[in-house]
Structure 1
């Protein structure tokens, strides 16, 4: 008792040589779309929630892994030093800095210079 296969069924079955490349192409396209969407979400900060009580006002990169951040939390401004291993509070400003100047580095330098003059 052998298995009988009709010639019509054999003609309708997809060939292995055409279905594997099609499947691999679909897999590559799907992985590429996932990778592109993940990169887009990372660059646009899509996963982060907007919070009006806490904002990063300015960033000053010092090196590849070190930077200064001026953060507004409610009515208070904080100057934070950020490294790859830690975040340190450097200064809490009782009077907010006017950061409408085009360069945060200039604003910070002016503040430090006026602070040094007041301490001398």
Structure 2
């Protein structure tokens, strides 16, 4: 991954240096030179350039998602076992770290460990995978019901 980042940075530096060199060289253009192909050709070139840039953005987004997915393979070390809202912006979180469970208080200004449980709480597997109601309804409307995949 570091090699890819270095290669991208090197490519970006090379392209930037070529642009600077090209901008530094004086170019003589005849004053009355007509544009080759006229307005239609310029418009087509602009649209093609825009499509290339948008395609590059989508490709880099896809590449980033692929790289993040490969890093997160395997069992999660830290897992949120349960959560409970105790106010509009305040929450209690039960976190599983290895074989230990920690009760955490989360407010907009802080996160505090409230208690380390001596005996882990058994939570049913279906309760851990609970999807919030809005998210579940949105997935159903989009035709991607997660409950059917199991």
Q: TM-score, normalised by structure 1?
A: 0.49
| Structure with bigger RCO (C-alpha 8 Å, 6+ apart) | 1
Counting helix residues as a fraction of each chain, which structure ranks higher?
2
Q: TM-score, normalised by structure 2?
A: 0.41
* Higher radius of gyration, 1 or 2: 1
